[in-house]
Structure 1
Amino acid sequence: MQFKSAYLQGVYDSVCKRNPHEPEFLQAVGEVLESFEPVVEKRPDIVEKGVIDRMVEPERMIMFRVSWVDDNGKVQVNRGYRVQFNSAIGPYKGGCRFHPSVNLSIIKFLGFEQTFKNSLTTLPMGGGKGGSDFNPKGKSDNEIMRFCQSFMTELAKHIGPDTDVPAGDIGVGAREVGYMFGQYKRLRNEFTGVLTGKGLTFGGSLARTEATGYGLLYFTEEMLNCMKNDSIKGKTIVVSGSGNVAIYATEKATELGGKVVAMSDSDGYVFDANGIDLDVMKQIKEVERARISEYAKRVAGAEYHEGCAGIWGVKCDVALPCATQNELDGESANKLIANGVIAVAEGANMPCTPEAINAFHSNGVLYAPGKASNAGGVAVSGLEMSQNSMRYSWSFDEVDEKLKGIMKNIFHASYDAAKEFGLNDNIMAGANIAGFLKVAAAMIAQGVAY
């Protein structure tokens, strides 16, 4: 990447030199630094204090072996990670991802993004991320339990309610969080809010399951209202993925008067012109854990198509990529634009490639980056931490109302920052800047030795 600022160019070149085999991390850093061009012009103190130089380097990276025994009595070995990226505004906070694609580059990119996302929520949480290349698909409950216990046996040495509070992510749901929490409690002999996304019977928060998907729609609704004088009502919507985020984004989109016509998994996508029947989808994906192709077999008129990337060829007003990183490329973006899309909001982390983002900006399509639009999950995780500290629980409606307020505030913080720094309607740049400035102020206040 090329930057106008010699300082930013130097920072980026240094990151590339230190991390030459980490494409996801380099992509995330490049996209964020590009947003900082007007900031370094207006704020020379940030350059003088080396804030950005420090921010692109994790405070701590932990990599460890995870040995466990499968149901056949065979020893299996996976690799575990925890990257504690930045604790300037609070304890490290970020999910754990269990997926074969997990490597240090992906965990670092997620931890880097998490730092800005957590800052945007206004809650006192730093940025971190973790996970393993373990694949829970096809494993028995006992195998997953044994893996989670082994994983937590090492991770427990590095986390705590005032140090680092992990949560779930891809491949880590309530089951996995429960097993990890149980092992942490045994090892430490204490009952604390060290993990979020817990079951409701042992410290979990109402609305946490729905939070990322619901929050995505609250953000999108506010963006449409403020920037287009429009709303979700009456819109045709495409949602990629069919996991937790996608399902609850679909649920809230429907509640707000939209019609979701397509969802996907890693094999392909389904199109239902009448609108996705969410009860059927929940049965297939949450209860049976089956492939999305089952939907077309059970719902009259629904179509199944091989190849998940084809979903971006479905005509829609609003696109919500909720599956995984870099799932929506430049070619897919141009298909959406040709079909009249007016807004794209990310439910996953960095699902749009730089080419796709440029296409949206160049064609007047509203674009919301994941660090802003999918911050609902970590926002309610922060609320779960608060409830755990108080030994108290709020009602679903109380949490949902707080979530709605947080997501609206994130939009306006991003929108206002974009305007302040002369970036017009670039919500991505605005989100990067708004999240960064809070962390930067804390880092400067705490001194360079920090």
Structure 2
Amino acid sequence: MNVNKLMAELEAKHPGEVEYLQAVREVLESIEEVYNQNPQFESAKIIERMVEPDRIFMFKVPWTDDEGNVHVNLGYRVQFNNAIGPYKGGLRFHPSVNLSILKFLGFEQIFKNALTTLPMGGAKGGSDFNPKGRSDAEIMRFCQSFMLELWKHIGPETDVPAGDIGVGGREIGFLYGMYKKLASENTGVLTGKGINWGGSLIRPEATGFGATYFAQEMLATKGMSFAGKRVALSGFGNVAWGAALKVTELGGKVVTISGPDGYILDEDGISGEKIDYLLELRASNQDIVEPYAKKFPNAKFFAGKRPWEVKVDVAMPCATQNELGKEDAEALVKNGCVCVAEGANMPCTPEAIEVLQQNKILFAPGKAVNAGGVATSGLEMTQNSMKLSWSREEVDARLQQIMKNIHEACVKHGTEKDGYVNYVKGANIAGFLKVANAMLDQGIL
């Protein structure tokens, strides 16, 4: 495999799809050595088949607002790879949604899902619809229109969507209600469902919990733990909320959260009622964190800035892609940060990752760190198929074991000669080998 040649061909076929091409390059560079050691992969053109989605559905979503005005959004579903199980991946409702972002997320999902060891393939979908400021009735009508097209392409053994940015329990409820009506069946076709009708306990917190469990394993390789550590989080959605809860439980102090408007520094620690307030902020339909500083006067708000300038031991970017750049990474290194764990999907730029790895900082990518969300979705699918429900403790214990297993796989495939663990390489190789070998077993499809 010649990475530069393959990337040049992809860039010619998919010009301008920056996020997708970035994600593919990262994986190809990580697995190049292993790939070239296994000629059966080359003869079956595994990479050429893996980097292209199985199929992409793109459709219009017309809906009516409360004033009777008609709007038209775009809807997407990218079914990327189902070699190890049904397509699985979230739906994102956000104005930034486009095909490049969904292809990047779907491609990442292949390896993330493989790392969980659960039988789930990779997919992603969503719309450029913005739920912010919309009434429940407007969101219901949009979700029903969206599902009117999507339902034909999904199913409990075919493709199981979940939530993502802009798609929480409310949206999943509206989507599932329409699916159930159209398909005339009550099955586990969506995850992130309400606990009263097939959902799993701790699913909302799972991505943040899992990210914290993974970071805990990273710290343990250096004989450290979260106890007494200062932790910077970005974002203030489900991932940051779950991470704040679990970091605090493990003895760490969360000192930052952030939004598009800037970041909050709270030297007293973001715990207890302050973590609960994150839920209120997110539910307020205002995509800002400044109100936190007004409610808790000891906190400071820094407009238009990111939290990576704060002196912390652990940084967990939990917001969105490419939010932590080279200068941010240099600031973290300068301030003595020992661990950076990606709670979001690809939040660190390639230049930032290079800085962190050159300085031998513990760094792990989102496909490993934030796999706890989809892992718990997989556990929800299992509970649905068995027609039973596990306790909070059972789900949490299974999640913690899955994250520990993912960490072990990353260490196995990513440990370099000097002992430094290249978690990017380890995660990509472990996920790739599982999917590639399944593809070989199933023939040329």
Contact 1:210–1:248 (8 Å) recurs in 2: yes
**Deviation of 1:325 (Å):** 0.3
Q: Distance in 2 between matches of 1:287 and 1:435?
A: 35
One-letter code aligned to 1:376: G
Number of residues of Structure 1 aligned to a counterpart in Structure 2: 442
Q: Distance in 2 between matches of 1:17 and 1:76?
A: 34
**Deviation of 1:137 (Å):** 0.4
One-letter code aligned to 2:315: A
SS at match of 2:180: helix
Q: In the alignment, does 2:257 pair up with 1:263?
A: yes
Partner deviation per Cα, 1:177-226 (whole Å, 9 max, x = no partner): 00000000000110000000000011000011110000001000011102
**Deviation of 1:281 (Å):** 4.2
Contact 1:247–1:278 (8 Å) recurs in 2: no
Point out where structure 1 has 5 or more consecutive residues left out of the alignment: none
Contact 2:340–2:362 (8 Å) recurs in 1: yes
1:33-432 mapped onto 2 (5 Å cutoff): 33-226=28-221, 228-283=222-277, 284-290=280-286, 291-309=288-306, 311-419=307-415, 424-432=420-428
Q: Distance in 2 between matches of 1:19 and 1:323?
A: 26
Deviant stretches of 4+, over 6 Å: 420-423
CA RMSD of aligned residues (A): 1.3
Match of 1:21 among 16, 19, 35: 16
Identical aligned residues as a percent: 60
Q: Distance in 2 between matches of 1:289 and 1:66?
A: 22
Point out where structure 2 has 5 or more consecutive residues left out of the alignment: none
Q: Distance in 1 between matches of 2:421 and 2:70?
A: 53
Partner deviation per Cα, 1:394-414 (whole Å, 9 max, x = no partner): 000000000000000001101
Distance 1:282 1:289, change over 3 A: farther
Partner deviation per Cα, 1:145-189 (whole Å, 9 max, x = no partner): 000000010000110001000000000000000000000000011
**Deviation of 1:9 (Å):** 2.8
Contact 2:120–2:378 (8 Å) recurs in 1: yes
Partner deviation per Cα, 1:213-270 (whole Å, 9 max, x = no partner): 00001000011102x1111111000000000100110110000000001101111111
**Deviation of 1:41 (Å):** 2.9
Contact 1:423–1:429 (8 Å) recurs in 2: no
Match of 2:433 among 409, 413, 437: 437
Contact 1:281–1:295 (8 Å) recurs in 2: no
Q: Distance in 1 between matches of 2:415 and 2:350?
A: 22
Contact 1:39–1:421 (8 Å) recurs in 2: no
Contact 2:84–2:120 (8 Å) recurs in 1: yes
Contact 1:345–1:373 (8 Å) recurs in 2: yes
Contact 2:143–2:174 (8 Å) recurs in 1: yes
What TM-score results when the alignment is normalised by the length of structure 2?
0.97
